[in-house]
Structure 1
Amino acid sequence: MADAWAESATANAWSRGYYPMADVLQKPASGWHNKADDRAFDTKNFVLSGDLPATAPAHAKVTWGNGNHLTRPFIGAKKAYQSFALDRSAGPRLTVTAAKLGTTTIETSQGPATVPAWLFTVEGYDTPLKRVGVTPSKLPDPPIGPARQGSAGGLRSVLLAGAAMDRRVITVKATHGACDDGPTVKALETNENVVLHASIAGPRSGPCSAEMIEQRLKVELRKPLGDRALLDALTGQPVPYGEPNGQSPSWA
């Protein structure tokens, strides 16, 4: 996989695109005040009290620290609100009262970027809930096909959960079952990319309950990730940030 990606057209497209590698919805700087608000955020239970801006720019610019920039389509305030306000149940809820244009920073495949965002005013909070407004680039077709789940020594998929500021320690989410010693994730590093190989340690035979357990692991690289592509050995694609079986903000 490392050889297939090296100097490929896919790698070139990936290096020039905008791919968020962190959550596009950012909590207020102060954090949530109590467990009820934290639960409302986790369950996406919001209510709108007020008017949202009816107009927005059609496109906006993503800017990286090295001066590189890219223009991407920009979503309106209503669509941005609807992307996270998915529940209106009787449980704890957060109230959005207004929104305005602003900016935020987000980790991307090319490192931290400054991006336009919608800043939503939440009742009871002095700092806004931020929702990145620019849409990701289209994921290029991988230069190699996926491997079979469980092949090559128990190969499994992996998800990105975060990275240290120096991008040398990568936190990932990996899954395992009830009858093993947990997941293990190894990294193959080249000058062009880093391939993560997730598998299961100590699998045991015999009767076992059917469950999938998620675990976070830290993978320490020999040198910072930099602009190298972070790849999944199972899928043949860049490792997405997101939840198991859910859409990834990286290219949703």
Structure 2
Amino acid sequence: MRRTAALLGLPLLMIVAGCAPAGSDPAVDAPGTDPRQDAFVQRATEVADAWRPPPAWKSGYVPLQDPTVLVGDPRFTGETKIAFSNGWYRDQIELPTAKPADSTIRFPDGTLTVPLVPAATAYGQLDQGDPPPCDGRPKAPTEPKLPGGGPTIEPGPDGPVSSNAQTACVPLTVTAVKLGTAPVRTSRGEAQVPAWLFTVEELAVPVARLAVAPQAVTAPPEPAPPADPAPKGLVSAQDVQSVDGTELTWRLGVGSCDTGITPLVQERDNVVVVGGSVITATGVCNAMLKLEPVTARLKAPLGDRPVLDALTGAPLRLASS
């Protein structure tokens, strides 16, 4: 069992979405109105100009999300979400070990034939181990009594409260598997990729594990960040949360006491560079990193353009559910 806890020749555009709700049109601001915005424009320009993807970016298979994919709404409970996030599974079937025939990835701009791994191999990658025992979740109810043998205290406002009660640690039960496809964000846009679809008793939809053999997968290129340190007040993008036409949502890594969180975007016809600005707290604050979702509306649908982080230059991956 497994797992534990992304216009040459066109003017540069900066979109400031501020605190606008998802789906609203962001305001467009010109350089010179805010030092942090000006710093972002300069930084994003350097990142976009330095973007030099390898040939495989347009001809091979470069996935930009996790190889475990949910094909629809799983209708998670608290327990099943924890199990999925940590890769806790148990199989109730005989998993095929035979290597399947080569199959096809279908991109918006064409196809690519790739070798696949057996279902048993895919399950071994999916399954990250057994859940730990859960303190505070006894196998059978107990009846706590008052000191001196008094009456039983039933659970309720007057009953004792366990200090170590927690969500049950339960695995997901795999009851069937078949070869199919799953939608995956790649360097060539959203593709239909061969995947082993595992039926899970506790979920409403199958869990897909991409079946493409490792030798056919190309890793994203190493980022080329600008030489200068990141300007004060700018924060990096951690991942892309969703892409819906022209609406792009990503997560910023901010301090838990930061305020004035503002998404920033520079859009070109071959890349989109994102980041954000914050007002850093001056008083005492912890050093905890908080992932803050922000949304902006692009001038055109994202399509196959990579989303790059303005601070590191790295192409961003689509976040897992």
Q: Which residue of 1 aligns with 2:289?
A: 212
3-state SS of paired residue (1:78): helix
- 1:78 deviates by 2.4
> Contact 1:21 / 1:160 at 8 angstroms: preserved in 2?
no
How far, CA to CA, are the matches of 1:152 and 1:36 in structure 2? 40
Q: Secondary structure at the match of 1:99?
A: strand
Question: What amino acid maps onto 2:287 in structure 1?
Answer: A
Aligned with 1:53 (options 96, 116, 134): 96
Deviations 1:50-93 (A, max 9, x none): 21110123743211244x11234423322321223213124222
Superposed CA offset, 1:16-47 (max 9, x none): 33233444323364624744333322332211
CA contact 1:77–1:118 (8 Å) conserved in 2:
yes
> Percent identity of the aligned residues?
33
Q: Which residue of 1 aligns with 2:218?
A: 137
Q: Using the alignment, how far apart are the partners of 1:125 and 1:156 within structure 2?
A: 34
Amino acid at match of 1:207: V
Quote the Cα distance in structure 2 between the aligned partners of 1:55 and 1:155. Answer: 47
Partner of 1:234: 311
Q: Residue 120 of structure 1: which of 198, 207, 216 is its match?
A: 198
Partner of 1:71: 113
| 1:223–1:11 distance in 2 versus 1, CA, 3 Å | farther
> Counterparts in 2 of 1:189-208, with a 5 A limit?
189-199=267-277, 201-208=278-285
**Distance apart, 1:234 and its partner CA:** 1.6
Given the superposition, is the C-alpha separation of residues 85 and 122 from structure 1 closer, same or farther in structure 2, using an over 3 Å criterion?
Answer: same
Give the C-alpha shift of residue 146 in structure 1. 5.1
Structure 2 unaligned regions, length at least 5: 1-46, 134-168
1:3 aligns to 2:83 (yes or no): no
Q: What's the TM-score, normalizing by structure 2?
A: 0.64
Taking the aligned partners of 2:240 and 2:101, their CA distance within structure 1 comes to 30
Q: Does 1:154 align with 2:197?
A: no
What do residues 114-152 of structure 1 show as CA deviations (whole Å, max 9, x unaligned)? 11110113236675322221253222344x335566436
Provide the C-alpha distance between the structure 1 equivalents of 2:258 and 2:54, rounded to a whole number of angstroms.
Answer: 35
1:84 equivalent among 123, 126, 131? 126
Unaligned runs of 5+ in 1: 244-252
Give distance in 2, aligned partners of 1:139 and 1:172: 18
Q: Residues 194-238 of structure 1: CA distance to partner in whole angstroms, max 9, x if unpaired?
A: 111333x11122321121111111122111122322211122221
* TM-score (normalised: structure 1): 0.79
SS in 1 for 2:112: strand
1: CA distance between counterparts of 2:87 and 2:294?
26
Amino acid aligned to 2:113: T
Q: How many residues align?
A: 235
Equivalent position amino acid for 2:50 in 1: A
> Which is greater in Rg?
2
Does residue 184 of structure 2 align to residue 103 of structure 1? no
